[in-house]
């Protein structure tokens, strides 16, 4: 369980530090900073869930914080029972990301997203370290669920 919790804590710290650095050091005042032909730093306040769905102030931030807390508690219960290294890592990624975004909602009322990937005028929705960790964690859980179970030798 220590591995998952340690990774969750590391993701939480990395997420909050990168958000703070970008928001207060790089993007003051807010602007678009092109870094690569396909990658910018931007300021986006996401009031919704993934990709801004249910945003625009239609759902109070407290609802999303409560949902994040419930998911994190459920994932920690799962982590306690997880015997696979990949499951522990995946849960740590998801929990760290969920707590990082919930903390933004508590402090700002919205999640601060700043990574903007684009191609030929098409922009992927802006995201952050927490979002990346959640996505990677979910993909790891899905991939692991598709692998054949390893039988314990008797």
- Mutual angle of helices 61-81 and 85-108, in 10-degree steps: 160
Please spell the DSSP secondary structure of 36-95, one letter per residue: ETTEEEEEEEE-SSGGGTT-TTSS-HHHHHHHHHHHHHHHHHHHHH---HHHHHHHHHHH
**Within a 10 A sphere around the Cβ of 20, how many other Cβ atoms?**
11
* Residue 123 main-chain phi, psi, to 5 deg: -110, 130
Q: Which residue has the tokens 């990301």?
A: 97
Out of 15, 104, 116, 131, which one is annotated catalytic?
131
Residue 113 bears catalytic tag: yes
Residue 104 bears catalytic tag: no
Which of 97, 93, 105 has the alpha carbon at shortest distance from 139? Answer: 93
User: Which residues are the active-site residues?
Assistant: 113, 131
């Amino acid at each position: 369980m220590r591995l998952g919790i340690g990774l969750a804590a590391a993701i939480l710290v990395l997420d909050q530090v990168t958000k703070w650095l970008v928001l207060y050091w790089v993007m003051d005042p807010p602007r678009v900073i092109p870094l690569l032909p396909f990658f910018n730093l931007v300021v986006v306040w996401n009031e919704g869930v993934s990709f801004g769905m249910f945003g625009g102030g239609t759902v109070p931030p407290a609802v999303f914080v409560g949902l994040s807390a419930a998911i994190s508690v459920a994932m920690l219960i799962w982590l306690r029972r997880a015997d696979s290294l990949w499951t522990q890592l995946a849960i740590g990624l998801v929990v760290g990301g969920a707590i990082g975004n919930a903390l933004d909602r508590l402090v700002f009322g919205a999640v601060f997203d700043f990574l903007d990937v684009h191609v030929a005028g098409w922009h992927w929705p802006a995201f952050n370290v927490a979002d990346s960790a959640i996505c990677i964690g979910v993909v790891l859980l899905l991939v692991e669920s598709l692998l054949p179970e390893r039988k314990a030798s008797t």
